Amino acid sequence: MTEKFLPVQDYLPDSGTYELLPFKFEPVGADEVILTNLTGEFLYLKREKLDSLVSHRLAPSDADYRALRARHFIRQPNDRATLDLLALKTRTRLSRLANFTNLHLFVVTLRCDHACHYCQVSRQSEDRQSFDMSEETADRALDLVFRSPNPAIKIEFQGGEPLLNFPLVRYVVEKAEQRNRVERRDLQFVVATTLSMVTDEILEFCRVHGIHISTSLDGPEDLHNRNRPRPGRDSHRKFTDGLKKARDVLGYDAVSAVMTTSPASLPRAREIVDEYIEHGFDSIFLRPLSPYGFAIKTKSYQAYDAGSWLEFYRAGMDYIIDLNKRGVRFVEHYSSVILKKMLTNDDPMFVDLMSPCGAGISAVVFNYDGDVYASDESRMLNEMGDATFKLGNVHSDSYRDIFASDALLSVLEDSFASSAPMCSDCAFEPWCGADPVFHHATQGDILGRKPESEFCKRMMGMIRYLLDVMRADPQAKSIFMTWVNS
Amino acid sequence: MLTLSGSALETGLTAPALFRLTTVPDLPAPLRAQRAFLMRGLGDVPEGYPHYLVFDRDPIPANGAAFTRLDEKFAYLSDDDIVHLSPHGHVRTLFRSASNHNSILLTEQCNNYCLMCSQPPKRKDDRWIVDEVRQLVPMMPRTTKSLGITGGEPTLFGDDFLDIIRLCKSWLPTTALHVLSNGRSFADVGFARNYAAVDHPALTVGIPVYSDDPSRHDYVVQEKGAFDETIRGILNLKRFGQRVEIRVVVHKQTFERLPELAEFIARNLVFVDHVALMGLEMMGFTRANLDALWIDPIEYRDELSAAVAVLRAYRIPVSVYNHQLCLINPDVGIAYVKSISDWKNEYVPECDGCARRDECGGFFSSGVKHGYSPSIKPFPHRHPAVD
Ligand code: SF4
Ligand code: SF4
């Protein structure tokens, strides 16, 4: 090296001059910790390095020092870009909150041809008047929908079985499109249906109006039929026929499926994934069952705890990772939500994994009778006689009454995980969220006592699983990186 | 290698001048006044050109007009090329119409002092270049596809630099402009805003980032605090919607944290428009610092793979330049660009019989001359070659 160039040591900062930036840590194994910062970046450190770090003794020549500075856990007093980047990433993470409500759920009827054990709300009634949404109610709900400042508006039709009240679906779609000629929002429609009653006419309407279908598939035929009893015990066959028809008319990408994990599903993670692959899906949502509602009330159906669900989740994920390694691209959505927050600055704003919680922010529910709820779970809770999360009614309350109601604002205020007891110190908090409805239902407290919370147990389990996998298996980490950017 | 700068055999010029060349003898008179006529061998000498270029032993224009005589090193000159001629017989080719890689060197001064600089900076005040460029840009063919602006650090000229960009926008509105800068000047929000305000329709700035570790970057560019300014510069440019390319030269001082750098970009600068991962060129300071810089690319092929995989996963367009195909892992192929120089791709004796020579960028001529990887290994043909 020629004289006029200085050696690398000359560019290292002076010892002990660094500043700590906000971070939290959590033990990993006996002698290590994982550090996270407020934008969800993380790294591992030996415990003794953590001690040096916080007592400003970590040497600038230390490899850990370099990593900590590069990932914005520390900075030199002159590092201005560090703060600019942290601010930018934080803003990016929270930017979607400002858009306010995106997803508007219309419960167009409670009637259903299925009698699923875990369903909290459906009715087998033939009585149209009592359980169907009326045009008048829909009009009022649409008034509120277009009050949302969000440039993107998604209207999802739910039930019961929304196809049982398809005339109202048509009505809402046409009305919304009409209004949107002036509003010019990015307007999308989804119908959540088992597809058992789908007709060519319905599909044609969906095609013309670009409506997507979200359907249900719980697993192999016996499991699916057991979870979803209907007269004739043919739910799975109806699904298969309906799926083919829907894809023929609407196109492959317009049809997705959701899965509910019943206790009978727990030992069958692989088979469930295989069932999804067999039907040509390239993703699954390993969704845990809400531990309240009809399932508990009837006692006939035992729910399960976080531990058993995690076993199911891990088995499913192990298999899914293996599939991806063999070249079959297949995504698990629940993990993706968490991974997105670990590996990018984007918060996908998934209702249960947001802070503050997504109640009213990411989704709002218009029930058949005009009642407005903060989430689907809130509506189920109301069915059990608990109206805590009922925000109002489209017939009697204004937009302001509903979206500035105490019922909503206090939930939002109480659901900032970063200020919740235990969560505020938890290193996993940037990746986690708040589920006030769940904690209210199970513990009678919106904030929840996290040491006893099944939600917390589940989140910790998932997060530790994902961290371990990424650390032990770089190939799996690469696969996750493609998931979070798709 | 082309000789872009050299001496004429003789010249009749009395003052320095820029000339756009033509070989067309019957241009309309008004255009003749703006061109120098490039004579090739015998033939009638058309009248009315202010200057003539002749080669070697060719006869001089019989009409007694001023001429400059060049040797065969300049034989590549052709229609619409632009040269600068001085009364002392100095010849500089400033623009070659046959090339897609023309660039304007705006200054040789720089506020960095990179270990591997191919154009070692000089302290001397060379602001005169700006005036020459002001003359040059309007002379360039309006059909020019792309043009580079390099240095040194071209932004050091501040408003004059912005003027040149503006001039390019006015005279060459459909020419894609590529600025090479260390980005530090753009840490000044006002400067970044003014740059954006030029509103050039096809402008990209290429900015080197050598590490996610500030001290490592500062060491490579030999300037404390450079990393911080460069990153803030990139942020300002993107804030104002400017196109930014990140350029990484991979060598012994940068290869180790290449995957971490890719993750840093994915996490912090995901909005950049392109990342270029480039092999070392045996030019300028590199040869002085060879021990500190040289590493056989085959030894960092896994780091290169990891970096490409991360950037691709985050959907950041990435290209690998200046590498030999036989030294990279197959998974880098998707980002591989067969491009070394605008002149010609050069190969070494080891390449003989390589089945993928057509896809391979080969070597810089500096590499062929001053050393290259001992691991070059031709790809075998699937079937034994007949003959
Ligand atoms: S719920 Fe549990 S895992 Fe999530 S942030 Fe709170 S303490 Fe951490
Ligand atoms: S042997 Fe030569 S031509 Fe073939 S890939 Fe290697 S460098 Fe390229």
- Highest mean pLDDT range out of A91-95, A345-349, B165-169? B165-169
Quote the CA–CA distance of A224 and A48 in Å, as a whole number: 52
Task: Tell me the CATH number of domain B5-95, given options 3.50.50.60, 3.50.30.10, 3.40.50.300, 3.40.50.720.
Answer: 3.50.30.10
Q: Cα dist. A471→A129, A451, A466, A477 in Å?
A: 57, 26, 9, 8
Least confident of B122-126, B131-135, B198-202: B122-126
Q: Do residues A335 and A317 lie in contact, with contact meaning Cβ atoms separated by under 8 Å?
A: yes
Least confident of A256-265, B143-152, B308-317: A256-265
State which ligand 2 atom lies nearest to the alpha carbon of B378. Answer: 1
β-pairing, A331-332 with A103-107? unpaired
- Mapped to the 3 state alphabet, what secondary structure does A272-334 carry? HHHHHHHCCCCEECEECCCCCCHHHHCCCCCCCCHHHHHHHHHHHHHHHHHHHHCCCCCEEHH
B341 band by pLDDT with thresholds 50, 70 and 90? low
Q: What is the pLDDT of residue A299?
A: 46
Distance from the alpha carbon of residue A357 to the mean position of ligand 1, in angstroms: 13
- From the list A466, A425, A469, A473, the residue with the least C-alpha distance to A342 is A466
Quote the CA–CA distance of B339 and B326 in Å, as a whole number: 15
pTM over 0.95? The answer is: no
Q: Is the dihedral of CA B241, B242, B243, B246 positive or negative?
A: negative
Does the structure show a pLDDT above 60 at B342?
Answer: no
Q: How far is B221 from chain A (nearest CA, A)?
A: 10
Strand intervals (E) in A220-282: 255-260
- From the list B235, B239, B114, the residue with the least C-alpha distance to A80 is B235
Quote the CA–CA distance of A259 and A120 in Å, as a whole number: 16
Quote the CA–CA distance of B284 and A357 in Å, as a whole number: 58
User: Three-state DSSP class for B330?
Assistant: helix
Q: Which two tokens stand for residue A278?
A: 């067999």
Query: Which chain A residues are closer than 8 Å to B219 by Cβ?
Result: 6-8, 10-11
Q: Which two tokens stand for residue A224?
A: 């699916």
Quote the CA–CA distance of B84 and B136 in Å, as a whole number: 9
A230 band by pLDDT with thresholds 50, 70 and 90? confident
Query: Which chain A residues are closer than 8 Å to B310 by Cβ?
Result: 478, 481
Q: Do residues A191 and A211 lie in contact, with contact meaning Cβ atoms separated by under 8 Å?
A: yes
A121 band by pLDDT with thresholds 50, 70 and 90? low
Considering only CA atoms, which residue is closest to atom 6 of ligand 1? A423
Exposure string of A67-88, with b = 16+ CB inside 10 Å and e = fewer, is bbbbbbbbbbeebbbbebbbeb
Q: Do residues B185 and B153 lie in contact, with contact meaning Cβ atoms separated by under 8 Å?
A: yes
Least confident of A13-17, A410-414, B203-207: A410-414
- Arithmetic mean of pLDDT over chain A: 89
Report domain B103-370's class: alpha beta
Quote the CA–CA distance of A456 and A458 in Å, as a whole number: 5
Q: Do residues B341 and B365 lie in contact, with contact meaning Cβ atoms separated by under 8 Å?
A: yes
Residue A331 phi/psi, 5-degree rounding, is -110, 140
**Nearest ligand to the CA atom of B372:** 2
Q: Which of A7, A78, A482 sits opposite B228 (nearest CB)?
A: A78
Tell me whether B331 touches chain A (CB under 8 Å). Answer: no
Q: Is the CB of A422 under 6 A from ligand 1?
A: yes
Q: Which of B214, B224, B266 sits opposite A69 (nearest CB)?
A: B214
Cβ distance of A12 and B215 shorter than 8 Å: yes
ipTM of the complex, rounded to two decimals:
0.88
Q: Cα dist. B236→A219, B183, B244 in Å?
A: 51, 10, 11
Q: Which of A5, A60, A478 sits opposite B289 (nearest CB)?
A: A5
Q: What is the pLDDT of residue A460?
A: 96
Q: Which of B212, B225, B268 sits opposite A78 (nearest CB)?
A: B225
Mean pLDDT of B309-328: 96
Considering only CA atoms, which residue is closest to atom 2 of ligand 1? A456
Residue B122 phi/psi, 5-degree rounding, is -125, 150
Q: Which of A3, A5, A11 to mutate to test binding with chain B, by most B CBs within 10 Å of its CB?
A: A11
Q: What is the dihedral of CA B337, B342, B347, B353, to 10 degrees?
A: 60
Q: What are the beta bridge partners of residue A258?
A: A216
Q: What is the pLDDT of residue B100?
A: 87
Q: Which two tokens stand for residue A442?
A: 């199970």
Mutation choice for ligand 2 from B347, B348, B358, B364, CB with most ligand atoms inside 8 A: B347
State which ligand 2 atom lies nearest to the alpha carbon of B363. Answer: 7
Residue B262 phi/psi, 5-degree rounding, is -60, -40
Q: Is the CB of A435 under 6 A from ligand 1?
A: no
End-to-end CA distance of chain B: 33
Mean pLDDT of A107-118: 78
Q: Convert the pLDDT of each residue in B40-90 to its tens digit.
A: 776 677 888 899 999 887 777 777 788 899 988 998 999 999 999 999 999
- Looking at per-residue pLDDT, the higher value among B246 and A126 belongs to B246
Quote the CA–CA distance of A128 and A118 in Å, as a whole number: 23
Does the structure show a pLDDT above 60 at A367?
Answer: yes
Cis (ω within 30 of 0) for the bond into B152?
yes
Mean pLDDT of A57-68: 96
A300 band by pLDDT with thresholds 50, 70 and 90? very low
Q: What is the dihedral of CA A372, A376, A379, A384, to 10 degrees?
A: -170
Residues of each domain in chain B carrying CATH 3.50.30.10: 5-95
Cβ distance of A60 and B215 shorter than 8 Å: yes
CA B60 from centroid of its chain's CA atoms: 36
Neighbours of A421 (CB within 10 A): 11
Does the structure show a pLDDT above 60 at B302?
Answer: yes
State which ligand 2 atom lies nearest to the alpha carbon of B354. Answer: 4
- From the list A176, A158, A190, the residue with the least C-alpha distance to A373 is A158
Query: Which chain B residues are closer than 8 Å to A10 by Cβ?
Result: 219
Contacts of B3 (CB under 8 A, 6+ apart): B73, B74
Q: What are the beta bridge partners of residue A366?
A: A106, A372
Contacts of A400 (CB under 8 A, 6+ apart): none
Does the structure show a pLDDT above 70 at A125?
Answer: no
Residues of each domain in chain B carrying CATH 3.20.20.70: 103-370
- Rounded to the nearest 5 degrees, what angle is found at the Cα of A37, between the Cα atoms of A453 and A19? 135
Quote the CA–CA distance of A407 and A415 in Å, as a whole number: 13
Cis (ω within 30 of 0) for the bond into A160?
yes
Quote the CA–CA distance of A6 and A461 in Å, as a whole number: 49
Quote the CA–CA distance of B249 and B230 in Å, as a whole number: 16
Quote the CA–CA distance of B71 and A387 in Å, as a whole number: 94
Q: Convert the pLDDT of each residue in B366-383 to its tens digit.
A: 777 778 889 999 999 876
Q: CA Rg, chain A, in Å? A: 25
**DSSP codes of every residue in B190-231:** HHHHHHHHT--TTEEEEEE---SSHHHHHHHHT-TTHHHHHH
Q: Is the CB of A459 under 6 A from ligand 1?
A: yes
Q: What is the pLDDT of residue B386?
A: 52
β-pairing, A286-287 with A42-46? unpaired
Q: What percent of chain A has pLDDT over 70?
A: 94
Burial classification of residue A305, based on how many CB atoms lie within 10 Å of its CB (0-12 exposed, 13-18 middle, 19 or more buried): exposed
User: Three-state DSSP class for A342?
Assistant: helix
Q: What is the pLDDT of residue A160?
A: 81
Does the structure show a pLDDT above 50 at A192?
Answer: yes
Contacts of B128 (CB under 8 A, 6+ apart): none
Residue A205 phi/psi, 5-degree rounding, is -60, -45
**Nearest ligand to the CA atom of A426:** 1
Does the structure show a pLDDT above 90 at A169?
Answer: yes
Cβ distance of B268 and A89 shorter than 8 Å: yes
Does the structure show a pLDDT above 90 at A349?
Answer: no
* Eight-class DSSP state of A111: B
Give the amino acid at B342: D
Does the structure show a pLDDT above 80 at B13?
Answer: yes
Residue B203 phi/psi, 5-degree rounding, is -120, 130
Mean pLDDT of A110-132: 71
Considering only CA atoms, which residue is closest to atom 7 of ligand 1? A423
Q: Which of B188, B213, B264 to mutate to test binding with chain A, by most A CBs within 10 Å of its CB?
A: B213
